[in-house]
A = this chain, B = another copy of it.
Amino acid sequence: MTETAPRPTLEAVAALAGVSRATVSRVVNGGDGVREALVTRVRRAVEELGYVPNQAARSLVTRRHDAVAVVIAEPETRVFADPFFALQLRGISKELTAHDNQLVLLLTEGRDDHARVGRYLAGGHVDGALVFSLHLDDPLPGLIQHAGVPTVFGGRPGWSESDGDAVYVDSDNRGGAREAVRHLVGLGRSRVAHITGPLDQTSAADRLDGFRDVMPDADPRLVEESDFTPAGGERAMRALLDRRPDVDAVFAANDLTAVGALRVLREHGRRVPEDVAVIGFDDMLPVAEQADPPLTTVRQDIEGMGRLMARLLLGRLGHRTDRDAEGTSAGVVLPTTLVRRASA
């Protein structure tokens, strides 16, 4: 194990620059109220010694940590199979590093982990939290609220009624779904089916609502609940074909499901889009673009959601990111766009 040389302290820099610790501190933290000459002298000393502030000592007195927790609660492997979180993380990461904040990742699976996360957040290790709460019955949001840590949620939390001041970022799932279904109707399709996601997730529920907005009188047999996976999409499509062989369009709750549906349709000899038009959701590139035929889908800006979440949180933490993010005390809903490819 390499012995790490004792890192230089403020004191050392101060000595070298011939000033007091206070002055060095001032320079390191922006340098206001210090004469230009001294600033450069201190800067040089910092450079020479390779001084890096000790974050622990700093946090001890400032009570800030310049760190944000990202909590991803997901017992299922499935989540990791789609790049959704990865993209959000990327957006979050970019925004956080742009403001010199660190990203502490907390992955949870199961109840005991929840307690751990609650303790960690309550422990004041981070300045705020970004939480992905997927399920309606998730106890995590409650725990976090209780911990008193500024939080922004990814996706609309299920319990929005019970607690008004939750800040969240979401895609316009309902609006996107409406646009998709309208597109299908515009193509002259009248027997439009919908393969939903797990309805205990708000995103899936909202997409179903969007579907119903456009097709209020749809035969209930044209709606099949599924689980956002290709295999689930296959099962659902089979059920749908079984019940309503005359189906002429399918709005799948996400791209993976759509891919499963495509496979079953092909298997049953239905041509897409001629016999059955198919439309997905997410615009997960490798999936949607490589599907056969390439998938028409509703794009959501996942990385942008991540960035926005981070920006909102930093705003709440007083980071004065930009004018825009300030003052938001409820949810922000990002628009979606329909991407036309070959399948509808």
Contact = CB atoms under 8 A, between A and B. Distances in A.
Interface of A: 1-2, 4-5, 7, 50, 52-57, 59-60, 65, 67, 70, 77, 79-83, 85-87, 89-90, 93-94, 97, 102-107, 113, 116, 119-120, 122-125, 148, 150, 229-231, 256, 259-260, 263, 284-286, 289-290, 292, 316
A82 B94 CA distance: 20
A290 B87 contact: no
B54 A57 contact: no
A229 B289 CA distance: 12
B125 A97 contact: no
Contacts of A86: 79-80, 83, 85-86
B122 A81 contact: no
20 contacts: A2-B148, A5-B148, A7-B124, A52-B122, A55-B56, A56-B59, A56-B60, A70-B105, A79-B86, A80-B83, A80-B86, A81-B83, A81-B286, A93-B107, A97-B113, A97-B116, A103-B106, A230-B286, A256-B286, A260-B290
Contacts of A85: 86
A316 B1 contact: yes
Given A2-B148, A105-B93, A286 B124 contact: no
Contact of A105 (B104, B150, B289): B104
B290 A230 contact: yes
A68 to B, nearest CB: 11
A230 B82 CA distance: 16
Contacts of A2: 148
A119 B52 contact: yes
A138 to B, nearest CB: 18
A4 B2 CA distance: 41
Contact of A57 (B60, B113, B289): B60
Nearest to A117: B97
Contact of A54 (B60, B67, B122, B148): B60
Given A1-B316, A105-B104, A124 B52 contact: yes
A10 to B, nearest CB: 13
Given A86-B86, A231-B290, A52 B102 contact: no
Contacts of A103: 104-107
A270 to B, nearest CB: 16
Contacts of A82: 83
A292 to B, nearest CB: 7
A50 B146 CA distance: 13
Contacts of A148: 2, 4-5
